[in-house]
Amino acid sequence: MTAAAPAGDQLGQPASAKATGSRRQLFILIGIAAVVAAIAVVAAIRFLPLGGSQQQETPPAEAKPPSVVTTIKTGGTEPDGVAFSLDGKQAYVTDKQVDSIVVIDVAANTVTKSLQLRDPVGVAMAPDGKRLYVTNYGLGTVSVVDTTSDQVTATIPVGRSPIRVAVAPDGRAYVTNFDGGSMSVIDASNSVTATVKLPGHPTHPAVSPDGKQVYVTSPDANVVSVVDTASNGVAASLAIPKAFTIAFSESGAKAYVANNGDGTVSVIDVATGKISSTIAVGSGLERVTVTRDGLRAFVTNGSANTVAVIDTTTDTVIATLNVEQTPTEAVATPDSRRVYVTNAGAGSVTVIDTGVGG
């Protein structure tokens, strides 16, 4: 008579071997559970801020369509240049027709005060935020305004008809002398250290983000002059018909040129000095600005009373906004959220939500 197989050995496997296999399976399951738990801990730590409270990372906000927020009456007749305080809380707007600079509270969208100054046109803020440079077109001078006291602390003779000013990261100011055919270089001690001869009627200077070059438009000479800031000499001349105003992208890789004659914007590849694309925008182009984050460019169309918005990643027009009569200057706030547009024919400033920034 054959003995019955021991319990647990129904498949002909010894009981001891089956027990060993069960323990191995158990160890494998425990190992898998430990790995899963470790992954969960790592994922939780990734979303845990230093304070210890659990909070998921907020992804960057997506760009929105640009839109007109409001329009501010300046109390003048022909507002022109715009500059912002470093914190973006105040805007300074020139109006040479009434010899004043109005100061706008950016949060409240209201004019808070007016500074009296003869023939102001161009305006730019110093990197330290303590000085405002203002060109006095008919006087051939540049006024330096203390932003704390709102008092003129220096008056600097430059060339004939100073029209625009741009300030480099090192504090030097570059002033285009429209009827003088030159650009004056002013150092931090308020002294003119160089005068650069330029073709035609130089109009708008733009300093590259690294401060190594100044691009200057001369629309009647159909050229953009590239000035080396180390030598104060013209390093190159780019042939661009009716180049009127210019602005750099945030990285400095591209420069956008508004061409007053044919309603286009030329995009310069700064590395090669060549035009990489030409964007059809509208008629009577005046000024161009690029938001500080480099995502969008805004171009005023003086004849059409509109502002064209360019997506700088694709260099295409994504919107055209209606503003008031004869828009001229366009300048972005430090946080890139707003663009201020001066309407020379309406005595007003239009505030545009850029749809980007933060």
Domains of the chain, residue spans: 78-283
Q: What is the pTM of this model?
A: 0.82
Cβ-contact 321, 307 below 8 angstroms: yes
- Provide the pLDDT for residue 177: 98
List the one residue out of 143, 150, 141, 154 whose CA is nearest residue 184. 141
Say whether pLDDT at 76 is over 70. yes
Q: Three-state DSSP class for 245?
A: strand
List 217's β-bridge partners, or say none: 224
Tens digit of pLDDT for each residue in 114-161? 999 999 999 999 999 999 999 999 999 999 999 999 999 999 999 999
Tens digit of pLDDT for each residue in 278-332? 999 988 889 999 999 999 999 999 999 999 999 999 999 999 999 999 999 999 9
Average pLDDT over the chain reads 87
List the one residue out of 287, 283, 260, 290 whose CA is nearest residue 343. 287
- Provide the pLDDT for residue 61: 52
- Provide the pLDDT for residue 47: 33
Say whether pLDDT at 19 is over 80. no
Neighbour count for residue 62 (Cβ, 10 Å):
7
Cβ-contact 330, 258 below 8 angstroms: no
Cβ-contact 159, 165 below 8 angstroms: no
**Dist CA 141 CA 22 (whole Å):** 93
Query: What number is the average pLDDT over the span 253-260?
Result: 96
- Cα within 13 Å of Cα(17), Cβ side: 7
Q: How confident is the model at residue 358 (pLDDT cuts 50, 70, 90)?
A: low
The side-by-side arrangement of strands in the sheet containing 296-301 is 285-290, 296-301, 306-311, 316-322
Give the H or E element holding residue 115: strand 110-116
Query: What number is the average pLDDT over the span 211-234?
Result: 98
- Provide the pLDDT for residue 298: 98
Say whether pLDDT at 21 is over 70. no
Residues 6 or more apart whose CB falls under 8 angstroms from that of 216 comprise 174, 176, 183, 198, 202, 203, 204, 205, 206, 224, 225, 227, 246
Cβ-contact 162, 178 below 8 angstroms: yes
Alpha carbon 100 to chain centroid, angstroms: 26
CATH architecture of 78-283: 7 Propeller (2.130)
Q: What is the DSSP string of 204-217?
A: -EEE-TTSSEEEEE
Cβ-contact 310, 256 below 8 angstroms: yes
Q: Classify burial at 275, counting beta carbons within 10 Å of its beta carbon; exposed 0-12, middle 13-18, buried 19 or more.
A: middle
